[in-house]
Amino acid sequence: MAQGHIIPMMDIARLLAQRGVIVTIFTTPKNASRFASVLSRAISSGLQIRLLQLSFPSKEAGLPEGSEKYHIPRISFHGFSCFCLHCRHMVRSSKVCEGLTSKSEYFIIPGIPDQIHVTIEQMPGGVISSLTKEMKEHVEKVHDAEMKTYGVIINTFEELEKTYVRDYKKVRNGKAWCIGPVSLCNDSLDKAQRGNQASISEHHCLKWLDLHRSKSVVYVCFGSLCNLIPSQLVELALALEDTKRPFVWVIREGNKFQELEKWINEEGFEERTKGRGLIIRGWAPQVLILSHPAIGGFLTHCGWNSTLEGISAGVPMVTWPLFGDQFLNEKLVTQMLKIGVSVGVEIPMKWGEEEKVGVVVKKDDIKRAIGMVMDDDEEEKIPMKWGEEEKVGVVVKKDDIKRAIGMVMDDDEEESKEIRERAYKLSEMANRAVQKGGSSQIAMTSLIEDIIQHSRNSEETIN
């Protein structure tokens, strides 16, 4: 259970409990500890949530024989977008990849309304025809189990991907419920304590953001499983510095962390960006940060949780996918929703082989993409004082003049504005979806009613 999977599941548990459903969460002590505060507050407020901790790994963790005797329906939750789930289904059922000669060869996903080009490598889990015999057997077992489930819960809202929700519901015989964005069920304290313990205090983070103008700050985070090499992260650091914009950069602790930390200290990066840059080392209260008015852009790995949290906050995105479903999420954001700009990554990052790939995105490409989603009016401006021109010196460089002329002579500025406007409109739709009468709220009611009816039918069959 990766963080990106269990975090929205805890939100779903609370959403169900808010409707009077008794919810029992089975999980390991480690996962349970991550949500102790949030669950404790939910239970104290009167929600009927029970936590059952299972030791892991051990034989005792397995369910005893006959554990389906109560006819409890099994419902799957992937943590994917509906677009991703349907694309995956269409690629599998059409067998379109069987004639391809390379994992990096582009093909068009068949049977969907949009023309989406992908490679086998960019599909979540790859494509079964490209796997080893052992992996094929495993994937087939997983797929068979998935298709035998009663239905599927999806963390999305119908207005976001309407056509794909409709088509995927047909695949699942109507047993697919879009109940998101589930992150919107969190209040400010739950936002701060969602997931691991944050490595920065809520007060310090908000106080820093409060110092900056609306929509002026770039938020940079690659999720909990990012494994970019230090030289690539250095390129990112230099791009953030070059943008001259305020930024919040979340650096994941890991085996490469010390090397990057050494560069930061030796090069004086934090000192050079003091007041303009905030580095968070470890876990960050992402939902809290994204919902702050100062955030104007989100450089993301396109994990579905992060993507949906960015959409909910109305923040345009700079997309940098790494693996899994992230490349399809990027295509949804940049090509279909048109609320983001890609840095240009095409090859997925493979665990343990990051050094072979090396630096895939250069500083200028990162800087360009950030500039496309941010409002240029929010840059710091230094007024010119009469008689003190020599003191100020050169305040506008050649490249800045060139960029500014380019922005007014072509469509870049208008495109940037449209990206931000679309992001804002989607945020409004997301918030309406989870309110009374909204599509996700209705879907949650439908889910609960469906399960109640299923239970009654099962009891009648037994009797």
Which CATH fold would you assign to the domain 198-431?
Rossmann fold (3.40.50)
Phi, psi of 249 (to 5 degrees): -120, 120
- CA dihedral (43, 47, 53, 54) in degrees, to 10, reads -170
Gap between the Cα atoms of 451 and 292, Å rounded: 38
Per-residue pLDDT of 287-318, as tens digits, reads 999 999 999 999 999 999 999 999 999 999 99
Whole-number pLDDT of residue 229: 87
Contacts within 8 Å (CB) and 24+ apart, 97-103: 97/127, 97/129, 97/130, 98/129, 103/130
pLDDT tens per residue, range 201-253: 788 899 999 999 999 999 999 987 777 888 999 999 999 999 999 999 999 77
Distance CA 255, CA 261 (A): 11
Q: What is the pTM of this model?
A: 0.79
pLDDT score at 391: 54
Domain 77-180+437-463: give its CATH code.
3.40.50.2000
| Residue 287: per-residue pLDDT | 92
Alpha carbon distances (Å) from 259 to 230, 246, 266: 6, 24, 11
Q: Which two tokens stand for residue 398?
A: 């050649």
pLDDT score recorded for residue 396: 52
Mean pLDDT in the chain?
Answer: 84
What pLDDT is attached to residue 443? Answer: 96
Cis peptide before 29 (omega within 30 of 0): no
Q: Where in the chain is the domain with CATH 3.40.50.2000?
A: 77-180+437-463, 198-431
Task: Tell which phi-psi region holds residue 324, choosing left (phi > 0), alpha (psi between -120 and 50) or beta.
Answer: left
Looking at residue 267, its pLDDT comes to 93
- Report the distance separating Cα 354 and Cα 254, nearest Å: 14
- pLDDT reported for residue 194: 56
| Ranges under pLDDT 50 in the chain | 65-67, 377-384, 392, 395, 397-398, 400-411
Phi first, then psi: what are they for 442, rounded to 5°?
Answer: -65, -40
SS (H, E, C) the chain: CCHHHHHHHHHHHHHHHCCCCCEEEEECHHHHHHCHHHHHHHHHCCCCEEEEECCCCCHHHCCCCCCCCCCCCCEEECCCCHHHHHHHHHHHHHCHHHHCCCCCCCEECCCCCCCCEECHHHCCCCCHHHCCHHHHHHHHHHHHHHHHCCEEEECCCCCCCHHHHHHHHHHCCCCEEECCCHHHHCCHHHHHCCCCCCCCCHHHHHHHHHCCCCCCEEEEECCCCCCCCHHHHHHHHHHHHHCCCCEEEEECCCCCHHHHHHHHHHHCHHHHCCCCEEEEECCCCHHHHHCCCCEEEEEECCCHHHHHHHHHHCCCEEECCCCCCHHHHHHHHHHHCCCEEECCCCCCCCCCCHHHHCCCCCHHHHHHHHHHHCCHHHCCCCCCCCCCHHHHCCCCCHHHHHHHHHHHHCCHHHHHHHHHHHHHHHHHHHHHHCCCCCHHHHHHHHHHHHHHHHHHHHHHHHC
Write the pLDDT tens digit of every residue in 129-171: 556 788 878 878 888 888 889 999 999 999 999 999 999 999 9
Token pair 């990066």 is at which residue?
269
